[in-house]
Structure 1
Amino acid sequence: MKHHVLVRRAAVLFGLLLSLTAPQGLRAQADHTARLVEGAKKEGKLVWYTSMNITESKPLLDDFEKQYPFIKTDLFRASGEKIQNRVVTEVRAGRWDFDLAAISEIGTLVEHKAIGPYVSPESKAYIKELKDAEGGYWTGIYTNYFVPGYNTRMVSAAEAPKRWEDFLDPKWKGKISIDQEEYPWYVTLLAAWGKERTDKYMGALAKQGIQWRKGHTLIAQLMGAGEFPLAIVYAHRVESDRKKGAPIDWVNTVDPIVVSVNSVGLSAKPNNPNAAKLFIDFVLSKKSQEKIRSYNRVPARADVEPPSPKMEQSKLKLRVVPHDTATRYNEYVRDFRAIFGL
């Protein structure tokens, strides 16, 4: 009996000593998590709206449930546009069915006051471009890079476009493919270059006989098949296909590299705030970001290596798609389609 008492006392003393000697930041984060866990046990539920593929979002949620088995999760997966419309409709009706959302259009939800501020302790590991550094309303989960891609059997690395302006070379006329809804790319160049320069560039590009297709996955596949030598592609998609043997590559020297960010944000009126904050901390953690990288995604967290060294954030001239894109969507669509005669 005395032996067991001594062991328990030793354990208590060791825990006290550890708490006193641990770095202050770690102690604060541990206290933060403990408070959330206590509250989440009382809530017992979590509702997540996301545009992440179900093959990616469901395993993350399964891992979360294993770590916090007292939380039952409910996942609604749809396109970012559908989630945006659903949330806005629900909020206008006075319903707050979701606890958190993860979509590229998170800025629109912020503008509709559907997202509330929450600064996760994990957000310190994210560069300012990939989080709401001012208001704390969102943090990126993963990114998509819009870049020039090329068929390596048809175009050499030396010959491949190094700048967006290189697409205007007469030799590429009729040989470039672009998604017919490449609005985020267009809007971001407007923000980066200004209207005069962008309009001039787009007008010249419109004379290049663009081969319009729908979907970046399809475009990468057709480029690999030799249907056209150049395209605007997602870098992570090219990396994935290239590793499978496709004769394609991409260029990381353009300025800017347009970046869409799938971001997570807390509901402004969550039914399960503690569980929601726990999940935000969880999905932004290094372990979860490494899992996202295993999906061949580009994780937003700075201390997690991307799928390719070419994607290293600090070496690229990144420009995030402006968050007013969704609210001015019809205007941008009209202008883009008018320029290219679509």
Structure 2
Amino acid sequence: MEKTGKFATWTATRLNIFHPAWNTRLIKPGEEPTSWEDLADPKYKGRITLEVSDSDWYENVTHYWLEHGKSQTETDQLWKKIVANSKVAKGHTTMMQFLTSGQTPMEAMNYTYITTRSATKGAPVTFLPKSGKSTVPAFPRPNGVGMLKSAQHPASAWLFYDWMLTEGQKELVKLHLTPSTKVPGDKSLDGLTLVPFDVKGLSGDQGTWDKKYDALLRGVDSVGK
């Protein structure tokens, strides 16, 4: 079991990895971001897409910066610069469609499995530089399975949960998803540097971060405008 997916009272079934993605025809080798801070660089003006509901990503990057020595003022300034470089879109799949078609050059964040699926189909997209090793800290958000307290067939539900954490992990790999356990042949984390995802902070105060992120994006044009 990956450390990022194991908790005191529950266990993740898979991980969604937060990382930038870009169109390799529009972002040439050496132009890709090497840190989250790079997204504030003026060279990306008009080239970045943000997803309108990614408050969990916003919260985690903010905490990462603060924990690594940035002041709140410095953090706020970085976000303002990133937003000034960006347009917005709704939905990670929609964002990827924009990226694969070349309508947008880069996404500040998308789930790596979505990028991988598109790349596997031949789209000119990636989340790794030519070296195959990213220096952007990747946030692994754990996804779990819950069982209803009033489930009519609780034994069957437990069997499914057990399957998801054992043999079902292999099926996730086939779908280019990141399993929460070590599965032979899984390469979804290759080249990535994982940092802890703030599950406790987000689950305890998600509404506040939703409001902050909404306020940050207020007035930003949508892709296509």
TM-score w.r.t. the length of structure 2 is: 0.81
Residue 6 of structure 2 corresponds to residue 131 of structure 1:
yes
| CA RMSD in angstroms, aligned pairs only | 2.4
Partner of 1:149: 21
Mapping of residues 227-246 of structure 1, within 5 Å: 227-231=103-107, 232-246=109-123
Partner of 1:172: 44
Secondary structure of the residue aligned to 2:144 is: strand
CA displacement at 1:247 relative to structure 2: 1.0
Per-residue CA deviations over 1:109-154 (Å, capped at 9, x if unaligned) read xxxxxxxxxxxxxxxxx1222110xx2x211111211211111111
Residue 190 of structure 2 corresponds to residue 312 of structure 1:
yes
CA displacement at 1:192 relative to structure 2: 2.2
CA displacement at 1:318 relative to structure 2: 3.1
What is the distance in 2 between the residues matched to 1:238 and 1:220? 7
What is the distance in 1 between the residues matched to 2:25 and 2:11? 39
Aligned-residue identity in percent: 24
Greater per-residue helix proportion? 1
Greater CA deviation, 260-269 or 166-175?
A: 260-269
1:323–1:254 distance in 2 versus 1, CA, 3 Å: farther
Secondary structure of the residue aligned to 1:319 is: coil
Per-residue CA deviations over 1:17-61 (Å, capped at 9, x if unaligned) read xxxxxxxxxxxxxxxxxxxxxxxxxxxxxxxxxxxxxxxxxxxxx
Secondary structure of the residue aligned to 1:328 is: helix
**What letter is aligned with 1:199?**
D
Of residues 139, 151, 160, the one that matches 1:279 is 160
**What letter is aligned with 1:130?**
G
Partner of 1:337: 214
**What letter is aligned with 2:2?**
I
1:292–1:303 distance in 2 versus 1, CA, 3 Å: closer
Of residues 238, 241, 256, the one that matches 2:137 is 256
Partner of 1:52: none
What is the distance in 1 between the residues matched to 2:60 and 2:102? 29
Does the CA-based 8 Å contact 1:289-1:304 persist in structure 2?
Answer: no
Secondary structure of the residue aligned to 1:301 is: coil
CA displacement at 1:264 relative to structure 2: 2.6
Partner of 1:300: 180
What is the distance in 2 between the residues matched to 1:153 and 1:174? 16
1:304–1:320 distance in 2 versus 1, CA, 3 Å: farther
Partner of 2:222: none
Does the CA-based 8 Å contact 1:203-1:340 persist in structure 2?
Answer: no
TM-score w.r.t. the length of structure 1 is: 0.55
Structure with more relative contact order (C-alpha pairs < 8 Å, separation 6 or more): 2
Does the CA-based 8 Å contact 1:223-1:248 persist in structure 2?
Answer: yes
Mapping of residues 71-220 of structure 1, within 5 Å: 126-132=1-7, 135=8, 137-194=9-66, 196=72, 197-208=74-85, 210-220=86-96
What is the distance in 1 between the residues matched to 2:210 and 2:37? 22
Per-residue CA deviations over 1:202-261 (Å, capped at 9, x if unaligned) read 1221222x1100011111111111112111222111111111111111136244312222
Partner of 1:291: 171
What is the distance in 1 between the residues matched to 2:25 and 2:148? 49
CA displacement at 1:193 relative to structure 2: 2.4
CA displacement at 1:319 relative to structure 2: 2.8
Partner of 1:93: none
Aligned residue-pair number: 209
Per-residue CA deviations over 1:86-107 (Å, capped at 9, x if unaligned) read xxxxxxxxxxxxxxxxxxxxxx
Structure with max Cα Rg: 1
Does the CA-based 8 Å contact 2:58-2:213 persist in structure 1?
Answer: yes
Secondary structure of the residue aligned to 1:302 is: coil
Unaligned runs of 5+ in 2: 220-225
What is the distance in 2 between the residues matched to 1:211 and 1:280? 39
What is the distance in 2 between the residues matched to 1:320 and 1:246? 29
**What letter is aligned with 1:282?**
W
What is the distance in 2 between the residues matched to 1:279 and 1:187? 32
